[in-house]
Amino acid sequence: MRKIVYILISVSVFLSVFSCNKTEVQEDGYGYLYAHVDKDFDEDLVFKSDPGEDLVFSLTVYNSLGQEQGHVDDYRTLAQSPMVLSAGNFDYTAVASSGSDGAAAFDEPFYSGQAVFRVAKDEVSNIDITCSLANVKVTAVFSDDIRENFSSYRLTVSNGLGELVFDSEDGTIGKEGYFSVTGTLKWTLSLVNTDGQVYEELTDTYTDVKAKQHYNLSFSLGTEDEFGGGALSVILDDSMEEKEYDLVLDFGDNTVPQMNADFDSSEPVYVTAGDAAERNITLSSEDGFESIRLTYGSADALTKTAGETYELVGAGTDVIAALAADGISVASVSEGAGTVNMNLTNYVRNLAVGDYSINIFMVDVNHVFTEASVKFSVQSAVDVEAVSANPWARFVTVEAKWFPAAQPEGLSFQYRKQSDAAWTDFAGKVTVNGLSRTYSAEIRGLEPETEYVLRAVTAEDKETKSLSFTTEAEGTVPNMNFDSWYQDGSVWYPNLDADNFYWDTANGGTKTLSIYPTTPAEPENVYGGANAAKLESKEAMLVGLAAGNIYTGKFIKAVMSFTDPGAELDWGVPFTSRPLALTGYFKYSPVTVNKGDHNSMSGKTDIGQIQIMLTDWDAPFRVSTASGKFVDPNTDQGIIAYGTLDLNGTSSYEQFKIELDYRDLTRIPKYIVIVAAASKYGDYFTGGVGSTLYLDEFEFVYDPDQLD
């Protein structure tokens, strides 16, 4: 019975009373993190492996920007020493893992899992992290007939980043191999019989290899009657399908086809892109060729059956022409011919940067086979190259790749304005990923709407290929200082005029009741500039409460009904920039909630609220309070970034800053929603009549240095 192993890490957040300097505590307070582990062995699974009881799980907590907020090597220590985390309406990600995600290792499984959670003040949050095998398991089994007929048998397995050797001579056959997930696994089987005869290697490649899969490679021998009693074939049972290779081991013939090259082909051949050095290979067979199959292409995607395979014995002119078009010069081979010459000069010269393989499968007229391969690793003429740039208004995140086998010294970047001649050396932190041979950085201090040129550099190599990008605009919404207001009859609108309409309020829906919850502020309640916004929750017939509010968008219509009264309004105005935060000033005088009881608020002090969201909706969101249709910031897939702030009472104006939590760092917004209310639950007609919120001087933050 195949079983899956889930390691359940339950993470609980709780609050404890402690003393500290008030200036050290954020407005939302602190929470504490602890964890315990449960193991569930009852689920079905795709691999045959159980984790040991002695697994130790580390726990790391990151904020929404990927910055580490806390780490313990053993989650169990949190029971005695809880992790301190700032509480607030933003996401953390907890990552639990056991072991190390190395390229390849024996008996070292890597289990990992993660979960997103929030720390709420004065509340207890519980989450579970399911940890499962995050790499690929490989085992090797050899039958009695192989052990009896061969003195040595060795299985080499590689994922492209590392390899493990299951060897009959060093006791590794019974070990469990674990590989990081690269999407492929290649195995190579080497055999030496009891007479000391070395046979050509068998090899194959698996694609679509995923985490949690177990490849149990079980080899045995089978007799091929058509070749006589001395001919044996290798049978592989990989627990998914049985494969019987037509690659015959003939114990009566010691001659096998050969491949020779006028260059060293025993290891990958490292060449610079465009290298035109002469390169030839010669295929030979003492008994003469029956078949020569040629397959070539990218080493990452190439398998024995992937792409086009060309048969050279008896090849027609179309095959020879197709090979010549790719730079491989070879003539058609007659059956029984003993020598074949192949020129690879133009093929290698035309290769782009990357890894490539040429596989040649040869069979002689006595059905004796061999397989040979030549690998080319084409390097750039430079050590490094910038591969991507994600520009914002005042900074850019960049990534580069290095090409040499060994990591160069002094990995960094240089940049300049397109209009400048001199380069600026990047002096910040560079993050290196050894597995992908890439490195990245965040370059700050840029100017908006400006074209820049970037290049990757090393300590030795400065003249590399450059990459251009243009920083984004520092977009704004008109009248964010709330200085402009106009009246249509008795209704106030927070805009310059009807032709410049970006902000709206509930006034359009309550004008029939002569109630106007949102108006310009009194002169003594203006923080700066000519005006400010005054949001006051007022009593209203039918619904009970008309909350003072303001939002980017437009009021559509009032729904006058005794059973389901409410309003419809469109949230969002066009906006394509990506600010990091919204700042401004507020003054709030809440009263006791005396209308409605949503979220059990009746009798409690009212709460004000400001929200901001960037979206790539195709149109503004149509809110309907009558039918209960609201934006859900937690589940709406169109929201790219979100931030919110609950407001408590103040005696005077205070500054606020709402940082945006970006859920995707590449999507560009189409709309922006900024909404504020004197009663947070006014959409549900819950609040205190008389709660009053003043707002002034809103502004976006684009410079990350202003957030540090």
pTM for the full predicted model? 0.55
According to the model, what pLDDT value does residue 213 have?
Answer: 81
Domain boundary among 440, 470, 500: 470
- Per residue in 254-280, pLDDT (tens digit) is 678 999 999 998 888 988 878 889 999
DSSP state of 680: T
CA–CA distance from 695 to each of 80, 331, 529, 646, 677 (Å)?
A: 45, 82, 12, 14, 10
Do 609 and 676 form a contact (C-beta atoms < 8 A)? Answer: yes
**Tokens at 29, concatenated:** 């307070």
Any domain includes 480: no
Question: Long-range contact list for 661-667, CB < 8 A, 24+ apart?
Answer: 661/64, 661/90, 661/91, 662/64, 662/578, 663/639, 664/640, 665/390, 665/397, 666/390, 667/616, 667/640
524 lies in some domain: yes
Report residue 602's pLDDT band, with 50, 70 and 90 as the boundaries: very high
In this structure, are residues 367 and 248 in contact, taking their beta carbons and an 8 Å threshold?
yes
141 and 56 in one domain? Answer: no
Residue whose token pair is 């397989």: 371
Q: In the listed set 374, 409, 435, which residue is the last one of a domain according to the structure?
A: 374
Amino acid at 447: E
Cβ atoms 587, 659 nearer than 8 A: no
Segments forming the whole domain that contains residue 412: 384-470
Strand partners, 281: 261, 342
Residue 664 in tokens:
């995707």
pLDDT over 50 at 14, yes or no: no
**Stretch 378-384: mean pLDDT, rounded?**
80
Looking at the structure, do residues 125 and 141 belong to the same domain, yes or no? no
Q: How confident is the model at residue 249 (pLDDT cuts 50, 70, 90)?
A: low
**Distance between CA atoms of residues 640 and 576, nearest Å:** 11
Share of the chain above pLDDT 90, in %: 47
- The separation between CA 648 and the C-alpha centre of its own chain, rounded to angstroms, equals 38
pLDDT tens-digit map of 645-701? 999 999 999 999 999 999 999 999 999 999 999 999 988 889 999 999 999 999 999
Residue 475 lies in a domain: no
Q: What residues have CB less than 8 Å from 499, skipping those under 6 apart? A: none
* Residues 494, 485: Cα–Cα separation, whole Å: 5
- According to the model, what pLDDT value does residue 37 have? 47
SS3 label, residue 71 = strand
Buried b (16+ CB within 10 A) or exposed e, 17-52: eeeeeeeeeeebebbbbbbebeeeeeeebebebebe
pLDDT at 10: 38
Beta-sheet strand order (sheet of 654-659): 518-520, 533-536, 692-701, 581-589, 654-659
Q: Is residue 224 part of a domain?
A: yes
Signed CA dihedral, 266, 268, 272, 275: sign only:
positive
Helix locations, 63-205, DSSP H: 144-149
- C-alpha distances in angstroms, 378 versus 114, 350, 383, 434, 528? 38, 10, 12, 19, 63
Q: Are residues 216 and 337 in the same domain?
A: yes
**What percent of the chain is helix, strand and coil (3-state, nearest 5)?**
5, 50, 45
Give the pLDDT band (50/70/90) at residue 341: very high
Query: Which single residue is written with the structure tokens 């024996």?
Result: 106
Between CA 172 and CA 192 the distance in angstroms is: 17
pLDDT of residue 305: 39
Chain-centroid distance of CA 513 in Å reads: 52
Question: Considering the domain boundaries, does residue 129 fall inside one?
Answer: yes
Side chain identity at residue 331, one-letter code: A
What single-letter amino acid sits at 527? Y
Q: How high is the mean pLDDT of the chain?
A: 83
158-162's contacts with Cβ under 8 Å and 24+ in sequence apart are 158/104, 158/185, 158/186, 158/187, 159/103, 159/104, 159/184, 159/185, 159/186, 159/209, 160/184, 160/186, 160/299, 160/300, 161/103, 161/104, 161/435, 162/102, 162/103, 162/104, 162/105
Structure tokens at 79: 């029971």
Q: Do 302 and 414 belong together in one domain? A: no
Q: Residue 452 is part of a domain; what is its CATH number? A: 2.60.40.10
Tokens standing for 649?
A: 């009472």
Under a CB-based contact definition with an 8 Å cutoff, are residues 546 and 675 in contact?
no
Q: What is the rounded distance in angstroms from the CA atom of residue 677 to the CA atom of residue 446?
A: 35
Question: pLDDT for 77-107, tens place per residue?
Answer: 776 777 778 877 778 888 888 877 788 888 8
Report CA torsion sign: 476, 482, 485, 491.
positive
CATH number at 515 reads: 2.60.120.890
Residue 550 in domain? yes
Give domain status of residue 477, yes or no.
no
Cβ atoms of 702 and 444 closer than 8 Å? no
Indicate if 496 and 639 belong to the same structural domain.
Answer: yes
Residue 46 Cα distances to 66, 209, 629, 708, angstroms: 31, 12, 42, 46
Q: Poorest-confidence range of 203-217, 236-250, 427-441? A: 236-250
Tell me, yes or no, whether 38 and 56 share the same domain.
Answer: yes
- Give the amino acid at 671: Y
**643: which strand partners?**
612
Res. 563 pLDDT band, cuts 50 70 90: low
Side-chain half-sphere of 530: how many Cα atoms within 13 Å? 8
> Is the pLDDT score of 113 beyond 90?
no
Instruction: Report residue 705 as tokens.
Output: 């240095």
> Are both 258 and 343 inside the same structural domain?
yes
Do residues 554 and 607 both lie within one domain?
Answer: yes
pLDDT category at 562 given cuts 50, 70, 90 is low
pLDDT category at 505 given cuts 50, 70, 90 is very high
Please state, in angstroms and rounded to a whole number, the distance separating the CA atoms of residues 313 and 324.
Answer: 16
Retrieve residue 8's tokens: 């359940």
CA–CA dist 423, 386 (Å, integer): 15
Tell me which of 436, 470, 504 is where a domain ends.
470
Candidates 105, 246, 154, 186; CA nearest to 375 is 186
- Helices assigned H by DSSP within 181-232: none
What is the rounded CA–CA span in Å between residue 698 and residue 612?
12
Please name the amino acid found at residue 383. Answer: D
Q: DSSP readout, 350-379? A: TPPSEEEEEEEEEEETTS-EEEEEEEEEEE
Q: What angle do CA 42, 45, 51 make, to 5 degrees?
A: 70
The reply to whether 532 and 652 lie within a common domain is yes
Here the CATH number for the domain that contains residue 9 is: 2.60.40
The count of structural domains within the chain is 4
DSSP state letter for 430: -
Confidence of residue 239 (pLDDT cuts 50, 70, 90): low
Q: Does one domain contain both 103 and 172?
A: no
- The whole-angstrom separation of Cα 357 and Cα 326 is 14
pLDDT for the residue 117: 80
**Based on the domain organization, do 147 and 126 belong to the same domain?**
no
pLDDT tens-digit map of 38-74: 443 333 233 333 444 467 788 888 887 788 888 888 8
* Residues 513 and 654 both lie in one domain: yes
Classify residue 46: in a domain, yes or no.
yes
User: For residues 667 and 577, what is the distance between their CA atoms, to the nearest angstrom?
Assistant: 11
